[in-house]
Structure 1
Amino acid sequence: MATRSETRDRKTSSQTRSGRTNDSSRSAFSFGEGSAAGAAPLLGALAAGAAIGLGANWARKFLMQKSESMAAGNEWDEILKLEHKATLAKFDLLLATDDSDTGKRAALVKTIHYALNKHAHQEEQVVYPALRQANETVDADHLEHEHGYVKTFLYELENMEKDAPQFLDRVREFRNLVAEHVRMEEEQVFPHFRGELSEEQNTKITMLMNKEGMKML
């Protein structure tokens, strides 16, 4: 896996070849039409569907998605930060188990799998394509490449005996990978990208990302 400095070196080289400038007009996020107003009918319809009985589990996940959006001020990067924090907390719960907690470990692995799968889907379908459209291709490719390692770890943990001697070591290694991935997104890539976008563009990304999140409920 490439280090941060290696990623930045490749990015600098790529930008030099492409002749990229700091003109914010190059970061226009243009796929899809509409604005935040389009989110209201979607949320209303989904809430109505939950209310008339699409199932307690679906409704719970729907409310979780909606509450994350509202609590974060309805901004895409803040929603992703909340998801990062919640997922790392689940890793910590898993690391606090012992070999006799096989049932709890299995349940937590499934919970982490769902959280990371939904999170990756939102990023891969909306955020990373938006980064590429804003000429941030190197960062987008690096982050999406790391999602492959995440999926490999998930597969391994789901198929590993939950009382295996190496189980917690692999969980700890997995958490470290996710934490480094999170750090790069939250401290480097997302703040820079958000700063290049207008409020209208940020709102559009939030709307599209929430729409993709609903598909994973």
Structure 2
Amino acid sequence: MMLLAGGAGLMLGLLANPARKLAVQAPTMLKGEWDEALAAEHKATLAVFDLLEKTSSDDTARRSFHLMQIKHMIGKHAFQEENVVYAAMRQRGLLEQAQHLNEDHGVVKQLLFDLTMMPKDDARWLETARTLRGNLETHMAEEENDTFPKLRAALSEQENAELAKAMNKEGLKLA
């Protein structure tokens, strides 16, 4: 009986991770179009920034929690963009734009590291978080208003669908 219960527990544990991954990636997958999905992820990330910016210096646990959420969201998002979208941009001759956006990701990762290492009650912490948000908003606007429409137009309907599928597969890896 004990062995059966242990086996059932193991099976539930093995099934829980794929279910969790699908739940995390589902909002992106349900958008259908790759560019709309990425824009939705942008919006969701900014919503967590809204919560983070409402914290005070004595609310270090909440700052840490929201920073962890943002790091996970941005990490998964960047993985999708860098491994699929920016690669497709390079294939279509959008080399400089892909390189520029990739460099933006490096700046974002540095600011995330700085926030992680800085004491959450440091007077500069919220200012650094706002700098990060400003950089992200500029990056997001560039993607949504310029780069993504150029890539979408350069691809056929089938290629856009394949790009969305490939992007979601990458997202599931880190979800």
**Same-fold call, TM > 0.5?**
yes
How large is the Cα RMSD of the aligned pairs? 1.5
2:25 matches 1:65: yes
1: CA distance between counterparts of 2:99 and 2:33?
Answer: 23
Contact 2:38 2:77 in 1 (8 A): yes
Please tell me the residue identity of whatever aligns with 2:124.
Answer: Q
Which residue number corresponds to residue 150 of structure 1?
108
Which SS does the other structure have where 1:98 is aligned? coil
- Counterpart position of 1:128: 86
Paired residue total:
165
Deviates more, 1:51-60 or 1:187-196: 51-60
Taking the aligned partners of 1:55 and 1:158, their CA distance within structure 2 comes to: 32
Counterpart-to-counterpart distance in 1, 2:142 and 2:27: 25
SS at match of 1:54: helix
Deviation string 1:64-118 (CA, Å, 9 cap, x unpaired) is 3123211x1x111111001000011111111110112100000111110010010
| Partner of residue 169 from structure 1, selected from 116, 122, 127 | 127
In percent, how many aligned pairs have the same letter?
A: 44
Structure 1: which 5+ residue stretches go unaligned? 1-50
CA–CA separation in structure 2 for the residues paired with 1:104 and 1:173: 19
In the other structure, the counterpart of 1:6 is none
Give the 3 Å change call, closer, same or farther, for CA 52–198 of structure 1 in structure 2.
farther
Q: Is residue 2:35 matched to residue 1:77?
A: yes
Q: 1:179 aligns with which of 137, 156, 160?
A: 137
TM-score relative to the length of structure 1:
0.72
CA distance in 1, matches of 2:29, 2:20: 14
**What letter is aligned with 2:40?**
L
Classify 1:106/1:65 alpha carbon distance in 2 versus 1 (closer, same or farther; 3 Å): same
Matched, 1:100 2:68: no
Q: Greater helix share, 1 or 2? A: 2
